[in-house]
A and B are shown apart, each in its own frame.
Chain A
Amino acid sequence: MGVLEIAKGMGVTLGKLFQKPVTVSYPEQRATLQPRFRGRHVLTRHPGTGLEKCIGCSLCAAACPAYAIYVEAAENDPANPTAPGERYAKVYEINMLRCIFCGMCEEACPTGAVVMGNEFEMADYRYGDFVYAKEDMLVGVTGSLPQRREAARSGKPVRLGFQLEGQPRAELEGVKYP
């Protein structure tokens, strides 16, 4: 280190002092996510009919390396089907504390029913609240459990802490982020 280099370095740090920080001050400012971000799971529906894509085959549960998914299938009522096939998922639960957000469930799903969305603010207080059931993940539900609870308490709409760079992926059909 000659003195010239030291002086150059000092100049750089002094110059940076007067630049705007690049940090996103996250809770106040929204984080910008890429569409490929793997966040909370979404259970999608068929666009036209509105039927659930999930047929309760449990392949996602089998593929899950953390054993976070539990699926219990039941026969569809032919007159009033929940899913287009013979069976549907009566119970579909994901334990978000075990989930490592690897996306294997998404890849294993033959019907493209379970897709990883973009929500990530899921901090909560009780263990039981981290087990997300079907109604917490079906499309049309915005926000995680604690976020929706907070929104219901304060009477304001759910505020998501992120914005998307571009559009959500095609697989996430029916998912709308405010």
Chain B
Amino acid sequence: MPDWLATLLISLLKAVLVVLGLLTTFAYMTLIERRLLGRMQLRPGPNRVGPMGLLQPAADAIKSIFKEDLTVTLADKLVYTLAPIIAIGMALTAFGGIPAGPAGSLFGENPWVYNLDTGILALLALTSMGVYGIFLGGWASGSKYPMLGALRSSAQMISYELGMGLSILGLLMIVGTTSFHGLVAWQAQNGVMLLFQSLGFALFLISSFAEVNRTPFDLPEAEQEIVAGYLTEYSAIKWALFQMAEYVNMITASAVMATLFFGGWKGPQVLNALIPGISDWPLIWLILKIAFFLFLFIWVRATLPRLRYDQLMRFGWKLLLPLALANTVMTAAFLAFRGAGGLWFLGVLSLAGLLALLIMSDRVRVLWNQPTVRPPEDRDLVRAGGD
């Protein structure tokens, strides 16, 4: 077998494995999410199918495959069918670049599917392609509520994509590379990026919630206002594909946060004293970190109510974007004028910024929650019965 063929086959195999892994995680993610949400609401959650409800994902899969697949008469059939495929395709593709261990550690193979020098940029591009799936799906449904949901999702995506991209600029300037491997190697040497870019991390975390359409930013769905947004006219397996895309995006976002700010696949170095080499084991640390972020996603969903749409937009444009810019400028200035000093001062600055933001959060709120004062005559009319 020629060399290139072997490489191709192995890459394909790895891609298939990643897809299978992601889809299994998606399936059990839905179960875990429902169980955890249930427990947080003092009820047991789904526990009927199989022991402890463990076969629930299988039942869901069977149900969504064999359900009747409805299509609205006015729908653009081709785009309507392609949209969920685009969404899930982009979501699945994006994950492949995340490294899960040191080179050659997975049975002599690299634990990633592809390795691009533009790593994080390519991933951001791919995930924002995912919104094409949502938008086209909403547009092709030939119905009004999906259209509204689609519009919302694209507007939301643009406003939060900016904050997201800008919030990691500081990080990229410090490290000087956009490849995931470079990022992980740098963090292994200098300590996790969270220490130096806590403000950037906070902004990135919030943007990630908006980017993957999770509560409190799940405005594209918003079932109380626009039925189910872009999903309204979808049923059966196409609907399931959209759900899959959402959850896979969530997993990808968690993996990105873990890689960018929490040291990626590297475990804590201190554990090396107990078991030599444990911090270099592939998969384990990345999976643990992803699990932590997934729990965070669920936890926030169980707690926070959804923002109003204007609040969401104001929050994105008036708070996230300027703060991300400020973070970028701060980091750039520090890197330009620091001289020989270490990075710890930047970490302190960043942390101080974050703390100031937390303390001021009640004041900052007016930015996205403007008090509306009605003119007095208007109020009197309302009191009189409004005729």
Bind each other: yes
Chain A contacts to B: CB under 8 angstroms: 1-4, 6, 9-10, 12-14, 16-17, 19-23, 25
Listed from nearest, the 8 A-B pairs whose CB atoms lie closest are A2-B362, A3-B361, A2-B361, A23-B43, A13-B303, A13-B40, A3-B358, A9-B303
Residues of B within 8 A of A22 (CB): 42-43
Residues of B within 8 A of A2 (CB): 361-362, 365
- A13 and B43 contacting across the interface, CB-CB below 8 Å: no
- A16 and B41 contacting across the interface, CB-CB below 8 Å: yes
Bound: A147/B304 CA distance, A: 45
Residues of B within 8 A of A16 (CB): 39-42
Bound: A148/B304 CA distance, A: 48
Known: A3-B358, A23-B44. 20 other contacts (CB 8 A): A1-B361, A2-B361, A2-B362, A6-B303, A9-B303, A9-B304, A10-B300, A12-B303, A13-B40, A13-B302, A16-B40, A17-B39, A21-B38, A21-B43, A21-B44, A22-B42, A22-B43, A23-B42, A23-B43, A25-B44
Query: In the complex, which residues 67-117 of chain B have their Cβ closer than 8 Å to any Cβ of chain A?
Result: none
Of all chain B residues, the one with the shortest Cβ separation from A2 is: B362
Contact partner, A4, options B42, B47, B300, B361, Cβ 8 Å: B361
Bound: A22/B38 CA distance, A: 11
- A10 and B303 contacting across the interface, CB-CB below 8 Å: yes
Contact partner, B42, options A1, A9, A10, A19, Cβ 8 Å: A19
Min CB distance A19 to B, Å, is 6
Residues of A within 8 A of B42 (CB): 16, 19-23
Name the prevailing secondary structure of the B interface residues: helix
Residue B36 at the chain A interface, CB threshold 8 Å:
yes
- A17 and B40 contacting across the interface, CB-CB below 8 Å: yes
Residue B299 at the chain A interface, CB threshold 8 Å:
yes
Q: Supply 29 A–B pairs (Cβ within 8 Å), ascending by A.
A: A1-B365, A2-B361, A2-B362, A3-B361, A6-B303, A6-B304, A9-B303, A9-B304, A10-B299, A12-B303, A13-B40, A13-B302, A13-B303, A14-B40, A14-B299, A16-B39, A16-B40, A16-B41, A17-B36, A17-B39, A17-B40, A20-B42, A21-B39, A21-B42, A22-B43, A23-B43, A23-B44, A25-B44, A25-B47
Of all chain B residues, the one with the shortest Cβ separation from A18 is: B39
Of all chain B residues, the one with the shortest Cβ separation from A1 is: B365
Bound: A23/B302 CA distance, A: 18
Min CB distance B82 to A, Å, is 38
Of all chain B residues, the one with the shortest Cβ separation from A3 is: B361
Bound: A3/B361 CA distance, A: 6
Q: What 0/1 readout, one digit per residue, does chain B (18-43) give for beta carbons within 8 Å of chain A?
A: 00000000000000000010111111
